[in-house]
C-alpha cells in the first residue's frame, strides 16, 4: 500500500510538472535575419543585406521590381502559383488575368 501511494504521488507530481511546462511554453517570436558577411569556397564575398533590409521572418520572400527600378510588390511566404502570377502582373510582367498569351 505504501509503494502504491508513493507511485501515485510521483505520477501526480510529474503530471503537474508537464502541465506547467506546457502552459509556459508559448510560441517563440520570429526574429529578423541577422546580418553577416561570408565567403564562398571560391573566395567570393556575399552578405545577406537584402534579407536584413526586408526583416525576413518568413521564407520565401518575393520582391518584384518594375522596369523603372521601383518595388512593385512583395509577397511573404508561399501562396501558390496564382498569387505569384498576380504579383508578377503588378510589376508589369505577364497578363493580369492569368491567361497565357504567346
How many domains does the chain fold into? 1
Pick 83 or 31 by higher pLDDT.
83
Q: Give the DSSP letter string of the chain.
A: -HHHHHHHHHHHHHHHHHHHHHHH-PPPPP-PPPP-EEE-TTS-EEE-HHHHHTT--SS-EEEEE-TTS-EEEEEES---HHHHHHHHHHTT-S-TT-----
Q: 95 in a domain, yes or no?
A: no
Q: 30 in a domain, yes or no?
A: no
User: Which residue in this structure is represented by grid cell 498569387?
Assistant: 83
Q: 5 in a domain, yes or no?
A: no
Domain coverage including residue 65: 37-90
Local confidence band at 102 (pLDDT 50, 70, 90 cut-offs): very low
Q: 57 in a domain, yes or no?
A: yes
Q: What is the pLDDT of residues 12-68, one digit of tens each?
A: 777 777 776 666 666 666 666 566 677 777 887 777 676 666 677 777 888 888 888
Amino acid at each position: 500500500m505504501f509503494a502504491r501511494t508513493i507511485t501515485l504521488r510521483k505520477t501526480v507530481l510529474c503530471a503537474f510538472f508537464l502541465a506547467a511546462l506546457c502552459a509556459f511554453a508559448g510560441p517563440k517570436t520570429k526574429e529578423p535575419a541577422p546580418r553577416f558577411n561570408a565567403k564562398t569556397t571560391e573566395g567570393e564575398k556575399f552578405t545577406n543585406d537584402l534579407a536584413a533590409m526586408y526583416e525576413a521572418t518568413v521564407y520565401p520572400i518575393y520582391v518584384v521590381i518594375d522596369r523603372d527600378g521601383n518595388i512593385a510588390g512583395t509577397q511573404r511566404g508561399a501562396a501558390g502559383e496564382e498569387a505569384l502570377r498576380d504579383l508578377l502582373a503588378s510589376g508589369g510582367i505577364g497578363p493580369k488575368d492569368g491567361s497565357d498569351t504567346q
